[in-house]
Chains A and B, each alone.
Chain A
Amino acid sequence: MNPILADIYSTILPSAPYIIAAYALLWIALLVYVLMIYRGTKKATAQLMLLEEAVADQQKKAE
């Protein structure tokens, strides 16, 4: 390659891993947070179903 062009492009490849890491880590962190919310919602919904069953049992016993 022409030495001037080589100089112009000299920082492109060495910086690529840092750019890829910055973007990848950004989206991974957001995804992890979304998964945390999803798991929390799933757990709360399961507990709610158990509570509904417990309430139904109590009502049957009361009858």
Chain B
Amino acid sequence: MSSKTLKLPEAGQWPDKLVAPALIAGAVLSTIGFLMAFFYVAPVGGATVNGAELIGDVMVSQKMLLSQKIFYFHMPVAITSFIALGFGCYYAVRFLMTKNQRFDTCSRLCLEIALLFVVLTMITGEMWTRFEWGVWWSWEPRLTTYLILMLIVIAYFVLRSSVDEPERRATFAAVVAIIATIDVPICFMITRLIPSSIHPVVLREGGMSPEMGMCVGLCALGMMLIGFVLYRARFGQVRLTQRVDALKETLDDER
């Protein structure tokens, strides 16, 4: 592919015009989602109690699980991490096709955002696991596959820091980014593939009430928009740094 026809991602292009509205929308949606989670969506019931009581206008015979409220942000950050990995894989493939370092930069930043959201998924998941299961960690299939995903993304950055030659580093990193993305559908489907898994499965018929679905949807959209804003802000910063470095090199060469 010739460099004349190749359109490279750059700071200041049209996606940057969407940053301010995306930030506002992301903040508003995640705030509404947060408020809905605690004040609109009814608490989920746990173990049955010995009797029933009228609360509001509903007969309740189960323990109320406030811990389930973590789910309204846990699932959206997990989805955002998957999307960031998807984009990272896309840019990795573009790099392998064109060998243009700009795509490597984009892929690296997508994986950085993915790592941030993977860590957030782990933090929120751990808090729920600690309370509900009484342990900090369980070798449950969903947790294990997601841990593998996190380790692959960490390995991506370890690999990058251990190879000096830019093209080799970018090529190896692109391959690891693609491998990480292959783990995404495995993570997503594992609770269906291994029915004995104790991890809750919610994205199927009857798994969520319409109110829960709406709340998760708003939070997911909010988190995706925040992820997009973070990516564009980081991309702008990295491109500025790269330009400064290039300028320094030019000045040094001239001296």
Contacts and interface: CB of A to CB of B under 8 A. Distances in A.
Nearest to A45: B240
Interface in A4-39: 4-5, 7-12, 14-16, 18-19, 21-23, 25-26, 29-30, 33-34, 37
A48 B127 contact: no
Contact of A26 (B62, B77, B236, B237): B77
A63 B60 CA distance: 86
A29 B120 CA distance: 7
Nearest to A30: B226
Contact of A22 (B49, B116, B124, B243): B124
Contacts of A14: 131
B50 A7 contact: yes
Contacts of B73: 22-23, 26
A37 B127 contact: no
11 contacts: A5-B53, A7-B50, A7-B51, A8-B55, A11-B67, A15-B131, A18-B67, A30-B116, A47-B244, A48-B247, A51-B244
B15 interface: no
A44 B69 CA distance: 41
A15 B63 contact: no
Contact of B123 (A11, A25, A33, A55): A25
B contact residues, range: 35 or more
Interface of B: 34, 46, 49-53, 55, 60, 62-67, 69-70, 73-74, 77, 116, 119-120, 123-124, 127-128, 130-131, 226, 230, 233-234, 236-238, 240-241, 243-244, 247-248, 251, 254
Nearest to B52: A4
Given A5-B53, A26-B123, A41 B63 contact: no
A contact residues, range: 35 or more
Interface of A: 2, 4-5, 7-12, 14-16, 18-19, 21-23, 25-26, 29-30, 33-34, 37, 40-41, 43-45, 47-48, 51, 54-55, 58
Contact of B237 (A4, A41, A58): A41
Interface residue SS majority, chain B: helix
A5 B49 CA distance: 9
A23 B124 CA distance: 7
B119 A29 contact: yes
Contacts of B130: 18
A2 B74 CA distance: 34
B98 to A, nearest CB: 26
